[in-house]
Every structure is written in C-alpha cells, then in structure tokens.
C-alpha cells in the first residue's frame, strides 16, 4: 500500500498547487490532508454549499479545516435552478457536476490555482456515476484514483494518520435520496436531511432515508435494523417523520447498499444504466 501513498504524494508535488473539492467525507478528507502535508499553503479547500449538502457535512468540513489551519473557501451553488438537474433523470449527476465544477474551476482561476482536484478513488468506478463523465470533460484530476487507491486503503491510511474521518459511513448528496424521475425541490431535500439527522442523533451510523414522493423508506446497516424492535423508538421516529411532512414511514429490510436508486430505476423501467466511470 505504501507505493500508492508515495505515488499520491508525487502526483500532488507535480501539480504544485491545488484547490481540493472538499465535502468532509472519508476520501476528500484524506486527499486534503495529504495535499496540505505535501504542499502546505499551496493546497486549499473549496466546499460547494447547496441544498444537496447536509448541515452535518458542512459542519464537519468546516471543523476539519479550522483544526488544521487550511484555507477553506465556501462557494454557494443553486443546482435546483437548472431544469436538467431539477428533473432528476439518471444523468442528473452529470449536469450537476458540470455546473458545480465549472464554477469551482472559475474560482481556482481567480485564485491563480492551476488545478481543481477531487476525491474519487477506484472503488467508485463500480457504480453508475455519470458525474465522472463531467469531471473528465472539465479536466478535473482525481489523484486518489490515479495513484491506484481503493476505498478500504483510504480508510486504513486515514486511521493511521489519525484522521477523524477514517470510519465515517458512506455519504452522498441529498439528491441521491430521491428516486430518478421524481423532480427535486428544496422541501423534499430538507425533509430528507431532517429525517436522517433524527436517526443520526438516535445513534444510527449508516443511514439513508429515501423519499418516495411523501413516503420515507429507511435504509440502515443489517445490524442496526434490529433496533427497530424497540417500540418507543419506532413511535418517536414515526411521529417525528410525520411532523416534517411524511405521510408514511417504511423500513427496507434488505438494508443499505450502494447503487440502490439505480436498481429501482432499472426494475421500474426495464432500462439499463451505463456503469461507465
């Protein structure tokens, strides 16, 4: 594994100055830490603030940079203003990444930083991720993937470095909670965020609340599903979910797994999503 870390550091040295797209998750935290270690003040962070980013993630990203004295830029984005994003078709992520990272490149240019980089690693290539096509078109570098790192390797290195992000659960933008074909709006995104925040506060670690046009479908790790035998927890959760606008609350007994929205879309339409990364 050390050869991959050495390769990552060499890539960053060659880039010389970078603006890291930073969400506060496992991958971008590791990339930013190593970039700052190698480049010092020539590595800066940018977080795209939008209805797709939860307050929890924003706070985590802010704290990470403050504790390490890393220059952190916040760029406000409104992806819902674009019809091709708001329509929430399977290529939504392509249009969103194109908009967001184009803005990020412009910001880097203003700061005379030649490279905007992001934290995708090789494990990401196994899922439907049209956003990667936009990154390729824009020339956005992905140093973790380029250095041959996979998700579990990033976690191991992060733990060895003492990064608080090493064991964070998988995260994704809030738009990924809305099934393809159901238009996105700020109310449904805020409802998802509030519902997931409730579950995190209850001590759940792997959480997705899929919003099916007013019905909440909860996905948890298999181990945590067992906690729903607690009647008091169920009653409090249902009452809270209904107070924020859900008309029904369900639990997915298969539990959380990546690519679930793609599976649902393929089952409902008979189509096949392109796995190209």
Which regions of the chain does DSSP assign to beta strands (E)? 18-21, 43-49, 72-76, 115-117, 207-212, 215-220, 248-251
Residue 66 maps to a domain: yes
Residue 60 has pLDDT above 70, yes or no: yes
pLDDT at 114: 97
Residue pLDDT, tens place only, 96-106: 999 999 999 99
Q: Is the domain of 194 the same as that of 238? A: yes
Q: Is the domain of 221 the same as that of 244? A: yes
Q: Is the domain of 79 the same as that of 37? A: yes
Residue 87 has pLDDT above 60, yes or no: yes
Task: Show the domain range for 148.
Answer: 2-160
Residue 18: which of 38, 47, 41, 44 has the closest Cα?
44
Q: Is the domain of 72 the same as that of 150? A: yes
pLDDT at 118: 97
Q: Is the domain of 108 the same as that of 186? A: no
Q: What are phi and psi for residue 100, nearest 5 degrees?
A: -65, -50
DSSP assignment, residue 53? S
Residue 166 maps to a domain: no
Number of domains in the chain: 2
Residue 5 has pLDDT above 80, yes or no: yes
- DSSP bridge pairs for 220: 207
Average of pLDDT values for 110-120?
97
Residue 268 has pLDDT above 90, yes or no: no
Q: Is the domain of 112 the same as that of 191? A: no
Q: Is the domain of 11 the same as that of 133? A: yes
Residue 277 has pLDDT above 50, yes or no: no
Q: Is the domain of 28 the same as that of 111? A: yes
Element (H, E) at 47: strand 43-49
* CATH code of the domain in which 215 resides: 3.30.300
Q: Write down the pTM of the prediction.
A: 0.90
Q: Is the domain of 77 the same as that of 214? A: no
Torsion of CA 170, 171, 172, 176, to 10 degrees: 80
Q: Is the domain of 93 the same as that of 209? A: no
> What is the percentage of the chain residues whose pLDDT exceeds 70?
91
Q: Is the domain of 24 the same as that of 141? A: yes
Residue 178 maps to a domain: yes
Residue at a domain's end among 129, 160, 191: 160
Residue 165 maps to a domain: no
> What is the percentage of the chain residues whose pLDDT exceeds 90?
84
Residue 230 has pLDDT above 70, yes or no: yes
Q: What are phi and psi for residue 48, nearest 5 degrees?
A: -90, 110
Backbone CA torsion sign across 167, 53, 133, 142: negative
Residue 96: which of 120, 113, 78, 115 has the closest Cα?
78
pLDDT at 275: 43
Q: Is the domain of 119 the same as that of 9? A: yes
pLDDT at 276: 39
pLDDT at 269: 62
146: CB partners within 8 A, 6+ apart: 7, 8, 11
Average of pLDDT values for 7-15?
98
Lowest mean pLDDT among 78-82, 107-111, 129-133, 189-193: 129-133
* CATH code of the domain in which 104 resides: 3.40.50.620
Average of pLDDT values for 62-81?
97
Residue 124 maps to a domain: yes
Residue 275: which of 125, 86, 173, 174 has the closest Cα?
125
Residue 277 maps to a domain: no
Residue pLDDT, tens place only, 150-182: 999 999 999 999 999 999 988 889 999 999 999
Residue 99 maps to a domain: yes
Residue 122 maps to a domain: yes
Q: How far is CA 149 from CA 1, 21, 39, 132, in A?
A: 8, 18, 20, 17
């Amino acid at each position: 594994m050390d050869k991959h870390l050495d390769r990552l550091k060499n890539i960053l040295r060659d880039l010389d100055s970078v603006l890291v797209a930073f969400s506060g998750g496992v991958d971008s935290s590791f990339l930013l830490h190593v970039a700052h270690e190698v480049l010092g003040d020539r590595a800066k962070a940018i977080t795209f603030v939008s209805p797709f980013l939860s307050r929890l993630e924003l706070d985590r990203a802010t704290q990470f940079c403050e504790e390490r004295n890393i220059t952190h830029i916040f760029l406000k984005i409104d992806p819902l203003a674009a019809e091709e994003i708001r329509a929430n078709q399977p290529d939504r992520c392509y249009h969103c990444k194109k908009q967001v990272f184009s803005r990020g490149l412009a910001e880097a240019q203003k700061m005379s930083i030649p490279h905007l980089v992001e934290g995708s690693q090789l494990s990401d290539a196994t899922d439907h991720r049209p956003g990667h096509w936009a990154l390729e078109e824009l020339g956005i570098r992905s140093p973790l993937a380029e250095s041959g790192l996979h998700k579990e390797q990033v976690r191991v290195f992060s733990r060895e470095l003492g990064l608080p992000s090493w064991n964070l659960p998988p995260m994704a933008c809030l738009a990924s909670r809305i099934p393809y074909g159901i238009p996105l709006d700020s109310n449904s995104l805020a409802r998802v965020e509030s519902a997931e925040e409730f579950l995190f506060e209850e001590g759940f670690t792997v959480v997705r609340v899929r919003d099916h046009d007013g019905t909440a479908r909860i996905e948890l790790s298999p181990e945590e599903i067992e906690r729903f035998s607690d009647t008091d927890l169920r009653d409090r959760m249902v009452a809270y979910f209904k107070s924020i606008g859900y008309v029904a609350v369900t639990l997915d007994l298969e539990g959380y797994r990546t690519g679930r929205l793609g599976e649902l879309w393929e089952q409902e339409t008979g189509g096949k999503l392109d796995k190209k990364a």
